[in-house]
């Protein structure tokens, strides 16, 4: 594969390659286990809630200064070892011109389901993925602003992780037209209209790949592909009808390397993936593990034996400190089975979490 060397000014070429996070993603054991939290930027922080007053979610995501500020907030407060780009899974769809709104208490809502071959073809024809390139400037600006803020904030210690939703999660929203508890519409379409499904998923993969690439070229030092609904699928269905599209998304950034020739770290995270760890291993550097499967057991099912990320149960954030501390220590111990470990939750920070608890976890992980 032809490689593309990132500019000399890219953070991976100036400072973040030696960060604890990038080292752990690349299968090394830095001086301290790095820690960050999925959804660390968001509703658990009072400073975030203050910024969001009167602003709709997607408007906040597409305001570069606001998105950068929200991304930086948990780094200031908690002392985590990475920032995760503040965005939403459906932002690439919005930028591609697809009508979508995030309704409070509901989630992404579309005017109509994309659940027939005709609807798929109309969607793709009306919103070509290549057109996304012209709409990505707010994302590029937000990433550059965030990276500049990180350099001032932590002396260049913290990398920025790029973020995108996996093709299956995007497609599941589109096919149902809104969130679904069982994703039955998407699961049925895989078998009822397999060719249309493949076209839809390929289009989603192209969007997510372009979204990730723009973030890396603007300064992100790693990327995470987040698949909210993969766990609703049997392993055989996932391997045949979903995994190839996720691999295509990663292909959009596989060629990007630092000046030493090492690629940008790739992280794959899927919710409810207990039976999928053997097929999530799409030539990535790290696989995130949700709270349902102990880290060492999940890692033993991964063919390439990558680094792991996770996986404290978010429900434990409300437990008494001795209980929570023991659970954190258990995750750290199980993470020793893998070549590298990034401590995280097994899913996102719940909205009602006491921020002081997260800060205490960071301090404890760093003290080990």
Active site members = 39, 43, 52, 88, 173
Question: Which of 111, 115, 90, 86 lies closest to 207 in space, CA to CA?
Answer: 90
Number of H helices, E strands in the chain: 16, 11
Q: Mark out the alpha helices in 108-136 (DSSP H runs).
A: 117-126
CA separation for the pair 287, 341 (Å, rounded): 10
Beta strands in the chain (DSSP E): 4-5, 83-84, 101-103, 107-109, 160-165, 222-227, 256-257, 266-270, 286-288, 307-312, 341-345
HSE-CB of 278 using CA atoms within 13 angstroms: 7
CA dihedral sign of residues 140, 145, 146, 152: positive
CA separation for the pair 243, 129 (Å, rounded): 20
DSSP per residue, 333-365: HHHTTSS-EEEEESSPPPTT--HHHHHHHHHHH
Q: Could you tell me which residues come within 8 angstroms of residue 71 by beta carbon, excluding any fewer than 6 positions away? A: 41, 83, 84, 85, 86, 142, 146, 149, 160
Task: Output helix, strand, coil percentages for the chain, rounded to the nearest 5.
Answer: 50, 10, 40
140: tokens are 């590029």
């Amino acid at each position: 594969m032809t490689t593309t060397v990132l500019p000399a000014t890219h953070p991976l070429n100036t400072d973040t390659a030696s960060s604890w996070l990038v080292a752990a993603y690349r299968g090394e054991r830095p001086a301290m286990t790095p820690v960050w939290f999925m959804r660390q930027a968001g509703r658990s922080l009072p400073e975030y809630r203050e910024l969001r007053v009167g602003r709709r979610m997607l408007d906040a995501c597409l305001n570069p200064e606001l998105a950068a500020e929200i991304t930086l907030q948990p780094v200031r407060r908690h002392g985590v070892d990475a920032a995760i780009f503040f965005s939403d899974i459906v932002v690439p769809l919005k930028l591609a011109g697809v009508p979508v709104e995030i309704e409070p208490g509901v989630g992404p809502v579309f005017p109509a389901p994309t659940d027939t071959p005709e609807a798929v073809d109309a969607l793709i024809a009306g919103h070509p993925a290549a057109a996304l390139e012209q709409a990505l400037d707010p994302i590029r600006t937000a990433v550059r602003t965030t990276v500049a803020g990180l350099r001032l904030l932590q002396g260049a210690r913290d990398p920025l992780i790029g973020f995108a939703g996996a093709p299956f999660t995007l497609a599941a929203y589109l096919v149902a037209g809104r969130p679904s508890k069982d994703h039955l519409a998407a699961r049925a379409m895989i078998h009822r209209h397999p060719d249309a499904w493949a076209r839809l998923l390929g289009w989603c993969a192209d969007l997510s790949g372009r979204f990730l690439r723009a973030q890396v070229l603007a300064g992100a030092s790693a990327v995470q592909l987040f698949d909210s609904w993969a766990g609703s699928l049997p392993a055989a269905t996932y391997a045949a009808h979903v995994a190839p599209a996720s691999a295509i998304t990663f292909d959009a950034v596989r060629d990007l390397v630092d000046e030493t020739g090492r690629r940008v770290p790739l992280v794959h995270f899927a919710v409810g993936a207990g039976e999928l760890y053997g097929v999530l291993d799409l030539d990535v550097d790290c696989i995130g593990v949700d709270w349902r499967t102990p880290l060492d057991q999940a890692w033993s099912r991964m063919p390439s034996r990558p680094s792991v990320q996770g996986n404290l149960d978010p429900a434990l954030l409300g437990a008494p400190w001795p209980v929570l501390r023991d659970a954190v220590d258990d995750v750290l111990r199980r993470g020793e089975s893998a070549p590298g470990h990034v401590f995280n939750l097994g899913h996102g920070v719940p909205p009602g979490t006491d921020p002081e608890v997260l800060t205490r976890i960071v301090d404890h992980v760093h003290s080990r």
